[in-house]
Amino acid sequence: MSEHLKLSLPPTTDFHVHLRDDALMRLVTPTIEDGGVDTVYVMPNLQPPITSVAAAISYRKRLQSLAPNVTFLMTLYLDKTITPTTIAEAAAAGIVGLKSYPAGVTTHSEGGMLDYQSYYPIFEAMQKHDLVLNLHGEVPSTPFSGFHTAGQEPATVLNAEPKFLPILHSLHADFPNLRIVLEHCTTKEAIDAVVKCGPTVAGTITAHHLWLTVDDWCGDSFNFCKPVAKTPTDRLALLKAVVDEAGHGKFFFGTDSAPHAIEAKTGMKKAAAGCFTQGWATQLVIGAIEEALKHGWLEAQAFNTETLANFLRHRGRRFYKLAEDNGPQREILLEKRHAKIPDILESSDASLRVVPFRRGEDVWSLAWKS
């Protein structure tokens, strides 16, 4: 891709973001447009989580004040407080979906799900009102005391996603008209599972998983996320899914950008899970595809601006039934010239510091044009 020194694309839509709250929200939300993004799908796992329409609307107002040119698509956190009435109210208020977290598998998921069948009345209501179910597709790790259960392979961070896939298939079979997104796919098995399902099931792929394998996060807490990156074979499957137009086109972009203060990623406690990619979202995807082409992992003809625009914007917007703006369309211009991801994103008073993914590495520059 070295001859493509400039790329002009429509703005990216990011279908999976963590923007936090309070000081961290104020630090990271203004970086959304730096990553070429004009629309974001906001995760609800705050403390306390967003479980009501009123809380979602209030959160959107806080975000909008920090990035007035960005469209914020809001979600609710699926827990025992959600009822079919909540679903009807959410649909009427323009809430787009609900996020399901297995209990304890990632940041602020302590109130997550243990039993999916107990939520079937909620899924039925979501299907009726056409809300999207966003699945964090992992099972909790098996406790050490259960490692010797006869005939069962213990669940770990390395196989938690494949072990979740039967749940995906069951939900799709029981609610065939419910739109389901398997979030942040990390394995070839996950790609194959989404492809096997009908048109109401899709998957998101992050920027960082296009760069990482298990060896990259083992020993580097700033590459550590949930679900963890897997094998080179899995990484290649994700890259191919990005550029796969002729086959399925069921995968679209969601950064899962998850900022943490530097103290949460280092020190004496366990490192918090999450890679911060928001301000370089589009650039990181372009760089990962360029890297794959350089090594011959992808065929050159598989890459073009139409395919990139489809992955970064159009596929997801079609799945979510989002209208395209009929007015003057802004574009983003990416150039292959000297730019670097900073080592630190810091608040004005230096009290809060966040380390970006691929800190210090070269990256394509990005500018907005009307």
The one-digit pLDDT tens for each residue of the chain (370 residues) are 445 589 999 999 999 999 999 999 999 999 999 999 999 999 999 999 999 999 999 999 999 999 999 999 999 999 999 999 999 999 999 999 999 998 766 666 566 677 899 999 999 999 999 999 999 999 988 877 666 665 678 888 999 999 999 999 999 999 999 999 999 999 999 999 999 999 999 999 999 999 999 999 998 999 999 999 999 999 999 999 999 876 578 999 999 999 999 999 998 788 999 999 999 999 999 999 999 999 999 988 777 899 999 999 999 999 999 987 655 679 999 999 889 999 999 999 999 999 999 999 999 999 999 7
Q: Full-prediction pTM beyond 0.85?
A: yes
CA–CA separation, 12 and 10 (whole Å): 6
pLDDT attached to residue 246: 63
Structure tokens at 204: 């998101």
Task: With both helix axes pointing from N to C terminus, report the angle between 232-243 and 281-294 in degrees, rounded to the nearest 10.
Answer: 110
pLDDT attached to residue 1: 46
Structure tokens at 44: 């609800």
Sheet strands (E) in 101-212:
132-136, 180-183, 201-205
pLDDT attached to residue 300: 86
pLDDT attached to residue 105: 66
CA–CA separation, 366 and 280 (whole Å): 9
CA–CA separation, 127 and 129 (whole Å): 6
Is the backbone of residue 254 left (phi > 0), alpha (psi -120 to 50) or beta?
Answer: beta
Which residues, in sequence order, are CB contacts of 318 under 8 Å at separation 6+? none
Which residues, in sequence order, are CB contacts of 213 under 8 Å at separation 6+? 229, 230, 231, 232, 234, 235
Q: Bridge-partner residues for 349, per DSSP?
A: none
Under 8 Å between Cβ of 207 and 284: yes
pLDDT attached to residue 111: 65
Structure tokens at 202: 């899709």
CA–CA separation, 153 and 354 (whole Å): 37
Q: How many CB atoms lie within 10 A of CB 221?
A: 17
